[in-house]
Amino acid sequence: MAKEKLSIVKIGGNIIEDEVSLKSFLDLFSNLEGKKILVHGGGKRATQVASKLGIESKMVNGRRITDAETLEVITMVYGGLVNKNIVAQLQALQVDSIGLTGADANSIYSEKRPIKDIDYGFVGDVKEVNYQSIDKLIQAGFTPVFCAITHNGKGQLLNTNADTITSQVAIGMSRLYDTTIYYCFELNGVLENINDKNSVIRLIDSTIYKNLLQDGIISDGMLPKLENCFDALKNGVKAINMGNTSMLTKENNNFTTITL
Amino acid sequence: MAKEKLSIVKIGGNIIEDEVSLKSFLDLFSNLEGKKILVHGGGKRATQVASKLGIESKMVNGRRITDAETLEVITMVYGGLVNKNIVAQLQALQVDSIGLTGADANSIYSEKRPIKDIDYGFVGDVKEVNYQSIDKLIQAGFTPVFCAITHNGKGQLLNTNADTITSQVAIGMSRLYDTTIYYCFELNGVLENINDKNSVIRLIDSTIYKNLLQDGIISDGMLPKLENCFDALKNGVKAINMGNTSMLTKENNNFTTITL
């Protein structure tokens, strides 16, 4: 029997930080048909608030070092300011949303990243997605809105990469649904020529991906994202779309779809 | 047919701000039998964060004047920092909690307080509790944890008194449940003699209340709280208990119960 469809949409800091972009995105999201989940980051806003509070933001390899003070800021900004404003705006658009961290409804369990070369602090690696619990909310008619925070089940919140939350939630929900991820970002999609924003590769499957790698077309920045995508696809996610927010409309076909 | 029981517990800033008190309260709350809802304030913590961010806290008649900047702080502190840490700690105690503002699940609709003598800013007066929506969460096995924020249905979050949220949610849920409120505060209960903390009046009904008023025993601070209680009772709430957190245990009977 065919499973019902579920869309999981991820937006990053560039959309969240601009009021007009966010409003425009939420309009598109509200019109997206069927059951859906939103995942958001919140990056720069946390850095700004931390800075105002006199807390220095330390980044290593693009990841935030999360000491206790920084975790408080992240909990305030991601879990409070950003998440609750998105929820309020979605409610105004008749989307009956509910804002969540991974602690809420015990939805995403993670473990503090082990210290190797770098101590990332209170950063969590996702270990288990409680898809039954998330589905209870969906079945009750709610649209979950996740921020980039999880918990370890022992009372500790943990800062967690929003892309990872997206793929892990999608993998979990694939047990119950035909799951499609939409990664909204600045580019129109995966580009054949990084200098030509219109050179979108419309479809990438395993074979095409192999060829793109051999031809050196995948940029260093895109490589981990795509590896992450194929990991999600191998674990049950049906399709992954990458592009700007207008890919949520039926008018725009110029984005990248990734399948196995 | 007798309705099922539902307990609604409210805690204030004095418990939240002290890690040990909060932990001890959450232990008691986790052991409270039956379906339940938690409502929390968060007062001083918001003032501290606001002060660090260089935002002056303006209070009039014990109410916070909530300008746009202050609302951001409240959303961060109540909706993020306090709420999500409580949820994470409850999960560690096996309470499958879910943290909410009134925007989440469209649960509490309010209107911005009209400007009369004082402009309170982004402060909401509760107009409607979506008890069906809250009940969907309860029926799904979750324990709602409300912070003191509501929304106007048009995308605007509003700072809202936690005592009012408690009584309004209790009134709403009374359509479906036999609802009891527990107001946890510093005192052991309503006191016959304000200077004797053990002079708890164990039961106040309408007749006793009238007599207490005539005898001038109700202090100015307690008067609005009790008026609020009788309003809730007249609107369907079964009983209201006021005292310290140990009233949640069966060992302590020394608190005030208010009934019609």
Spatial distance between the Cα atoms of A21 and A86, rounded to a whole number of angstroms: 12
Q: Do both B136 and B216 map to the same domain?
A: no
Name the residue of chain B whose CA is nearest to A71's CA: B81
Q: Do both B151 and B211 map to the same domain?
A: no
| Residue at a domain's end among A150, A184, A218 | A184
Spatial distance between the Cα atoms of B177 and B197, rounded to a whole number of angstroms: 33
Q: Does B103 touch chain A (CB under 8 A)?
A: yes
Q: Do both B95 and B130 map to the same domain?
A: yes
Q: Is the pLDDT of residue A103 over 90?
A: yes
User: Given an 8 Å threshold on Cβ–Cβ distance, is A54 in contact with B52?
Assistant: yes
CATH number at residue B71: 3.40.1160.10
CA B221 to chain centre: 16
Spatial distance between the Cα atoms of B56 and A13, rounded to a whole number of angstroms: 28
pLDDT score recorded for residue B231: 95
Q: Do both B179 and B193 map to the same domain?
A: no
Residues B63/B123, Cβ–Cβ less than 8 Å: yes
Residues B200/B190, Cβ–Cβ less than 8 Å: yes
Range with the poorest average pLDDT among A24-28, A159-163, B31-35, B221-225:
B221-225
Q: Do both A103 and A227 map to the same domain?
A: no
Q: Do both A146 and A18 map to the same domain?
A: yes
Q: Do both B99 and B207 map to the same domain?
A: no
Per-residue pLDDT band for B58 (boundaries 50, 70, 90) equals confident
Q: Does A83 touch chain B (CB under 8 A)?
A: yes
Residues linked to residue B8 through DSSP beta bridges, in sequence order: B37, B181
Structure tokens at A20: 């007009």
Other CB atoms within a 10 A radius of the CB of residue A246 amount to 15
pLDDT score recorded for residue B257: 97
More confident residue, A153 or B44: A153
Residues B142/B190, Cβ–Cβ less than 8 Å: no
User: Given an 8 Å threshold on Cβ–Cβ distance, is B104 in contact with A84?
Assistant: yes
Q: Which residue has the tokens 């598109």?
A: A28
Q: Is the pLDDT of residue B56 over 90?
A: no
Q: Do both B162 and B211 map to the same domain?
A: no
pLDDT score recorded for residue B219: 82
Per-residue pLDDT band for A63 (boundaries 50, 70, 90) equals confident
| Residue at a domain's end among B145, B166, B184 | B184
pLDDT score recorded for residue A157: 98
B107-147: pLDDT as tens digits: 999 999 999 988 999 999 999 999 999 999 999 999 999 99
For residue B221, give Cα distances in angstroms to A62, B187, B194.
52, 12, 11
User: Given an 8 Å threshold on Cβ–Cβ distance, is B84 in contact with A157?
Assistant: yes
Nearest to B153 by CA among A87, A18, A24: A87
Range with the poorest average pLDDT among A230-239, B14-23, B38-47, B238-247:
B38-47
pLDDT score recorded for residue A184: 95
Q: Return mean pLDDT, chain B.
A: 94
Other CB atoms within a 10 A radius of the CB of residue B97 amount to 28
Residues in Cβ contact with B251 at an 8 Å cutoff, skipping those fewer than 6 apart: none
Q: Return mean pLDDT, chain A.
A: 94
Mean pLDDT of B22-47: 94
Spatial distance between the Cα atoms of B233 and A14, rounded to a whole number of angstroms: 49
pLDDT score recorded for residue B57: 82
Q: Do both A138 and A44 map to the same domain?
A: yes
Name the residue of chain A whose CA is nearest to B88's CA: A155
A184-227: pLDDT as tens digits: 998 999 999 989 999 999 999 999 999 999 999 888 888 888 99
Domains identified in chain B, total number: 2
pTM: 0.96
More confident residue, A47 or B111: B111
Q: Do both B228 and B115 map to the same domain?
A: no
| Residue at a domain's end among A144, A163, A184 | A184
Spatial distance between the Cα atoms of A5 and A231, rounded to a whole number of angstroms: 20
Mean pLDDT of A128-150: 98
Q: How far is B147 from chain A (nearest CA, A)?
A: 11
Q: Do both B96 and B214 map to the same domain?
A: no
Q: Is the pLDDT of residue B1 over 90?
A: no
The three-state (H, E, C) secondary structure of chain A, written as one string: CCCCEEEEEEECHHHHCCHHHHHHHHHHHHHCCCEEEEEECCHHHHHHHHHHCCCCCEEECCEEEECHHHHHHHHHHHHHHHHHHHHHHHHHCCCCEEEECCCHHHCEEEEECCCCCCCCECEEEEEEECHHHHHHHHHCCCEEEECCEEECCCCCEEECCHHHHHHHHHHHHCCCCEEEEEEECCCCCCECCCCCCCCECCEECHHHHHHHHHCCCCCCCHHHHHHHHHHHHHCCCCEEEEECHHHHCCCCCCCEEECC
Range with the poorest average pLDDT among A45-54, A222-231, B41-50:
B41-50
Q: Which segment, A12-21, B176-185, B189-198, is predicted with the most confidence on average?
A: B176-185
Structure tokens at B66: 């909530």
Residues in Cβ contact with A202 at an 8 Å cutoff, skipping those fewer than 6 apart: A189, A253, A254, A255, A256, A257
Per-residue pLDDT band for A1 (boundaries 50, 70, 90) equals low
B194-233: pLDDT as tens digits: 899 999 999 999 999 999 999 998 888 888 889 999 999 9
Mean pLDDT of A88-103: 98
User: Given an 8 Å threshold on Cβ–Cβ distance, is B101 in contact with A105?
Assistant: no
Strand order in the sheet with A124-129: A124-129, A108-112, A149-151, A157-159
Kind and range of the H or E element at B225?
helix B222-234
Q: How much is the ipTM here? A: 0.96
For chains A and B, what is the number of CB pairs under 8 angstroms? 131
pLDDT score recorded for residue B249: 92
Option in A103, A136, A142 nearest B87 (CB)? A103
Q: Does B141 touch chain A (CB under 8 A)?
A: yes
**Diameter of chain A by CA atoms?**
56
Residues of A in contact with B85 (CB under 8 A): 75, 155, 157
Domain boundaries, position B240? 187-260
Residue from B19, B87, B94 to probe the interface with A (highest A Cβ count within 10 Å): B87
Q: Do both A46 and A175 map to the same domain?
A: yes
Q: How far is A201 from chain B (nearest CA, A)?
A: 37
User: Given an 8 Å threshold on Cβ–Cβ distance, is A155 in contact with B99?
Assistant: no
Option in B85, B87, B136 nearest A140 (CB)? B136
